[in-house]
A = this chain, B = another copy of it.
């Protein structure tokens, strides 16, 4: 039976890179049906709606969601900051309980990592809690005595299921190594919950070697010694920061893919490049669709199409010439399936 895919091109270069990802999926011959959803900045400006309830319910009926990018141009004033992100991308992560954000980083060839250091790591980012819960508020807003609070909400339930997922993943990889990244020396409440949960779950996985890095130190290691990491598990905001950095040091953010996963498959998982909408290069042919293509390969894999997925991953090991345009890069990979 065909897999049904909801396609959200979104904003900026989102639609351009998603088109190339679908070109490559199509080359695999896997049977899919797609339906496009016009959501994002343009849709909001035309209709005043970000994501209405009936669209959300419709999205639930698909097998997976493929998304390009969401967000207005930096500095644009048409759309209030965070409205699209919170109302669409983050809403989907929360409403569909996509609690794992899995982001693999592989330097394309052994010498291409930053300073020639080979990178082969996966970040498992908790995706439904922390500061992304949106807790906070204002007191005396707009006065000299204003206080703005922003909370991070962390539950044993949410942290534990993420940590268990990360241990399972680590135990299946050759190095069997898992690092917790947090800032336990300053974030003494949330850090304590993460550290305790990590230590307790570790007892169930005696074959996995564990380590810990403070988030600031992890940034240094990602630049100077990324081979230190195999699987990294971390909270929502640190995961956001670390994965952009890991993308930059492992061949560029144009290569970094992600899966927003509901491992129990009670709702469709969502696959998207780590990069943003990059409004400044829309239509220039400069957008790199590789991250979107790799995200689509993660989608095929998650849908059980292991063989097709591995053909796409294999194709992604070839490097196209530099200076190819977006659609030429898509065709380059499609021809190698």
Residues of A within 8 A of B (CB): 71, 74-75, 81-82, 85-86, 90, 114, 131-132, 134-138, 142-157, 160, 183-193, 195-196, 212-217, 219-220, 223-224, 237, 240-241, 243-245, 247-249, 252-253, 276
Return chain B residues, CB-CB under 8 Å to A138: 189, 192-193
19 contacts between A and B (CB under 8 A): A74-B212, A74-B213, A85-B185, A86-B185, A114-B223, A146-B155, A146-B156, A148-B189, A148-B193, A150-B152, A215-B241, A216-B245, A217-B244, A217-B276, A220-B248, A220-B253, A223-B245, A223-B249, A224-B248
Given A81-B195, A223-B248, A247-B220, CB of A150 within 8 Å of CB of B114: no
Q: Which residue of B lies closest to A238 (CB)?
A: B241
Are A189 and B152 in contact, CB atoms less than 8 angstroms apart? no
Q: Within 8 Å CB of A155, what residues of B?
A: 145-148
B residues in contact with A192, CB < 8 Å: 81, 138, 148
The residues of B that contact A224 with a CB separation of less than 8 Å are 248, 252
When the two chains form the complex, which single residue of B86, B154, B220, B240 contacts A244, counting CB atoms closer than 8 Å?
A: B220
- Taking CB atoms, residues of chain B closer than 8 Å to A114 are 114, 223
Give Cα A243 to B138, complex, Å: 28
**A157-B144 CB under 8 A given contacts A191-B81, A219-B244:** yes
CB-contact partner of A135 in B71, B149, B248, under 8 A: B149
Residues of B within 8 A of A215 (CB): 240-241
